[in-house]
Amino acid sequence: MAERICRQALNAHPRDANLLCLLGASLIRQQKPKEAEHTLSRAVRIFSDFSRAHEGLAEALIMQGRLAEALETLERAAELEPGSASIRMKKAKVLTGLGQDDDATREFEESFKLTPHREDLVRGLNLQRMGNVREAEQVFRDVLLKDPTNVDALRLMAGVAMRAKQWGDAEMLLERALELAPDYYQGWMDIGMARQEQDKTDAAIEAYRNVMRLEPHKPNGYTSAGTIYAMIGEHDEAMNLLEKAVEIDPGNFGALSGMGHVLKTVGNQDEAIAKYRECVQHNPDHGETWWSLANLKTFRFTDDDIAIMEKRAARESLVEEQRASFFFALGKAYEDKQDYDAAFTYYEKGNANRRQRETYDPVQTVDLHDSFIETFSKEFLTERGGVGCQSNAPILIVGLPRSGSTLIEQILASHPDVEGTHELPDLGRVARSIGLHREDRKVYPGVTPFLDDGEFSALGEEYLRRTERHRETDLPRFTDKLPNNFAHVGFLSLILPNAKVINARRHPLDSCLGSFKQMFARGQPFTYDQFELAEFYAQYQRLMDHWHDVLPGTVLDVQYEDVVDDLETQVRRILEHCELPWNDACLRFYENERAVKTASSEQVRKPIYASSKHLWRNYEAHLGPMIEVLEPLLRTLPQDWQPERYPD
């Protein structure tokens, strides 16, 4: 309607600058950037000193992805109206899109100076940059007390919450900002991330759809939505969105590496490698993609690859997160060349780099495991056992990372009655939810004895309901392969007494070394220091010993080395424990074409090979701290499984 009114008025007043700009704005709102460009270019030609015409033309160019032209137009607009906050904000967005982050930050700060409470917001932003986050937060709070509708303050407060991983608080603040400014592109990006971190998948996708609607010629929304679809197993939709992002920006490393991840997951290794290669060709400093190549496990780097990675890793200007990725990738490259000393040097560098950005307290782990052992006593579990949801659908595979859990999952997923999912976060989330709204403020695990039988059953049903989104079939059984669920075995026995649990075990040094060589996308903060890793292994073993004592027969230990030596015997043990009939397909697990997300995805698509046993011996000279902590456990192993010497 606005367009019609403007066109009718322009028939009578064809050179009216305001009408031309209004028509251009209405065309932009209708996603007609080429028509808007035509109209606003005319306005600029007629009224070259009218800043609004230049600003509107820049919007039309941005929608078409012509960022360099848009920047030139916005610079002219800023010359004509240096006091415009909206022009500064648009410049900041364009500069971000062009990768000029420092210039973008300056423009962002300039836009603050031209808005109410500008001095306070700039001061808060400077405090935050200097690391004084609490003081910055207080500044933003004070602004919101004076002006509750200040969108910039709301988003900055949300940023503080996101840095503290307070995702619910961030979401609430961003929802308010988006009520006030529903076309706030960056607000939709941020709220998508906050929802994604809270496992609000549908709501996150909705946010990224709004990003695509507002900025259809930017790749960000397509890349973020595609990543979520990949996470939930909708690989076709993921590829469609990621391909759209690459159409817009052929060098978009997020989309290219995301396509590589999807192709790897579905078993198209050659195509995955090609996408990763394309990504590093456009972005050779993107260490994460080099690590993705290494993380294929069966991939081998060339000497030229190694030279490129070493050169990039040595650059002082490289982002530290990317440097860690290069170090881990180089460790894998030299390991494949059987230069184990050089490999360990890089693994050690990568772990030291990553440990600096991880928050982990070993004492807290001991205290938490103490509380599990105290709460889930034999008396309590005997008294309350059997009252939960009676479904036998779940088969949980627990343990520590890199201990053979993916192999066990692949064996089970090859059975015609079992659907393989992946590492599901739902059991821990259900467990931690039970104390959230209690007046007595008791929390998990200590709150568990205060629940009644009906609550145990309801919690089991809640776990099953939550896991439905990960399932694609109606098969009677499914796997849940989150290793850290080993801590929740007692809780699981109360809410789902017929669920089956398999503990994936491996030689302690192979298990720990496997984690030390792995850079995890998230979680597992204990793996980046030899002492902390070995201490965590000892705590894991302590807790598993407790479950065997108080819940005899509930957990089946499956030793990786035994599976390698005698596959059929171990498969029969696994199926018998899970009350599944024998099926020969479980021996041919490598023929299963299901999607596999973990680092072992390519390894479980091949028959078992004995060379994967006792890999730790190649690094024994470097594992002194690990061996020292694990010595009491190692001395209980067969003689030929023990180190040649123990630390003095």
What angle (nearest 5°) sits at the alpha carbon of residue 517, between those of residues 512 and 522?
90
Sheet of 555-559, strands arranged across: 418-419, 477-480, 394-399, 500-505, 555-559
Indicate the helix (H) or strand (E) that contains 480: strand 477-480
2-98: in CATH 1.25.40.10: yes
CA–CA separation, 230 and 224 (whole Å): 10
Contact 558, 502 (CB under 8 A): yes
447: alpha, beta or left? (left if phi > 0; alpha if psi -120 to 50): alpha
Task: Tell me the HSE value of 217 on the side-chain side, using a 13 A CA sphere.
Answer: 15
Please name every residue paired with 504 in a beta bridge, in sequence order, or none if there are none.
399, 558
Q: Where are the beta strands (DSSP E) in 364-452?
A: 394-399, 418-419
CA–CA separation, 330 and 305 (whole Å): 9
Q: What is the pLDDT of residue 607?
A: 63
Q: Helices 362-375 and 530-550: crossing angle, nearest 10°?
A: 0
Q: Where are the domains of the chain?
A: 2-98, 120-315, 362-641
Q: What is the pLDDT of residue 47?
A: 84
**Residue appearing with tokens 């398999």:** 502
Structure token pair of residue 183? 């076309």
Strand 477-480 to strand 418-419: parallel, antiparallel, or no bridges (unpaired)? Answer: parallel
- Quote the DSSP letter at residue 266: T
CA–CA separation, 151 and 170 (whole Å): 13
| Three-state DSSP state, 443 | coil
CATH topology identical between 2-98 and 120-315: yes
Give me the CATH code for the 362-641 domain, please: 3.40.50.300
Q: What is the pLDDT of residue 317?
A: 87
| Three-state DSSP state, 505 | strand
Structure token pair of residue 30? 């209708």
**Residue appearing with tokens 């099926």:** 583
Q: What is the pLDDT of residue 89?
A: 82
Q: What is the pLDDT of residue 31?
A: 86
- Ranges under pLDDT 70 in the chain: 112, 115-116, 437, 593-607, 609-610, 647-648
CA–CA separation, 205 and 195 (whole Å): 9
CA–CA separation, 577 and 311 (whole Å): 52
CA–CA separation, 381 and 372 (whole Å): 12
Q: What is the pLDDT of residue 601?
A: 44
What angle (nearest 5°) sits at the alpha carbon of residue 384, between those of residues 382 and 387?
120
- DSSP string across 160-196: HHHHTT-HHHHHHHHHHHHHH-TT-HHHHHHHHHHHH
**Prediction pTM value:** 0.76
Closest listed residue to residue 114, CA positions, set 154, 152, 142: 152
Length of the chain: 648
**Residue appearing with tokens 């001095």:** 119
Q: What is the pLDDT of residue 648?
A: 62
Give me the CATH code for the 120-315 domain, please: 1.25.40.10
